[in-house]
Structure 1
Amino acid sequence: MQRRTFLLGSAAILLLPMPSIADTGIRATLYKNPQCSCCEGYADYLRQNGFQVDVKPTNDLAEISRKAGVPTELEGCHTMFVDGYVIDGHVPVNIVRRLLTQKPAIDGITLPGMPMGSPGMVGTKTEKFVIYAVTKDGKAPTVYATE
């Protein structure tokens, strides 16, 4: 009788839904231009790396970035908010994870433009990525990481 109970209990456990990576992932909200497809590629890249990404098309991307502390000349192609930080552009996931782990006293990070070979972009990486730390207090951006 014990063997039968064990087998039935084991079968019941196997039938329970298992949490997926998405169920335990870091939540992020990504604002993008409605016509931009590389932003969707970046969101997919983050999802493949365990993030839960809510994509919100907007025509006010520059204003969202500005209010978040990202200088115009350092804007990326989309603006994302995660765990109280702004992340602008195609920042590699290892840099995003470092930011979320270290929790520095900044408002966020940005990878300006749309560099070839960056996550979500097509092509081969042709240059070093320079990711800047930004703040809303008017201080000049500083280099946060290079890759």
Structure 2
Amino acid sequence: MKRMLVQALLTGALGVHLAAGAAAPVIEVYKSASCGCCTEWVKHLARNGFTVKAQNVANPSDYREKFGLPQALGSCHTGMVAGYALEGHIPADDIKRLLAEKPKAKGLAVPSMPLGSPGMEGPRKDPFDVLLVHADDRYSVYRHYN
């Protein structure tokens, strides 16, 4: 009986350990080889628990088009995670929220390259919005940063 109890406890502990160690979904990033801020965004994602597969491509905007994001919301890199497109310098917490909430949407975008966003850190910080891009290309503010 004692042996069965110990075995059950070990099995339960192992299961909890494996579940806790489960990795976040992989984010695939398509970026220019010469873009330093893209590299910094990839580092931001990795520091926040994501596994990132970055690929240097000749024209990252081709991927924005391929994933169905409006060109008007463009930035310098495009990503994909769990079926959602990611455009620009999106904070990792907003990606985690997207993955937890699972809205019916194309993905998230931070148009342009706002100073102070992940990968664009520096002495100045501009306000910016993370936009949720809906299936019909409309978008709404998902989160505002000051």
TM-score by length of 1: 0.78
- 1:74 is aligned with what amino acid? L
Q: String of CA shifts for 1:87-136, please: whole Å, max 9, x gaps.
A: 11111111111101000000101001111111111314532221112245
In the other structure, the counterpart of 2:126 is 127
Q: CA RMSD in A?
A: 2.2
Match of 1:142 among 128, 140, 143: 140
Q: String of CA shifts for 1:39-96, please: whole Å, max 9, x gaps.
A: 1111111111110000001113112102212211211221010111011111111111
Are the counterparts in 1 of residues 114 and 127 from structure 2 also a CA contact under 8 Å? no
Q: Which runs of 5+ in 1 are unaligned?
A: 1-17
Shift in CA distance, 116/47, structure 1 to aligned 2, threshold 3 Å:
same
Shift in CA distance, 60/145, structure 1 to aligned 2, threshold 3 Å:
same
In the other structure, the counterpart of 1:40 is 39
Q: Which runs of 5+ in 2 are unaligned?
A: 1-16
Counterparts of 2:22 and 2:101, CA distance in 1: 23
1:98-109 equivalence runs, <5 A: 98-109=97-108
**1:69 correspondence with 2:68:** yes
SS of corresponding position for 2:26: strand
- 1:101 is aligned with what amino acid? A
Deviating above 4 A after TM superposition, structure 1's stretches of 4 or more consecutive aligned residues are none
Q: How many residues are matched?
A: 128
SS of corresponding position for 1:41: helix
In the other structure, the counterpart of 1:25 is 24
Counterparts of 1:52 and 1:134, CA distance in 2: 23
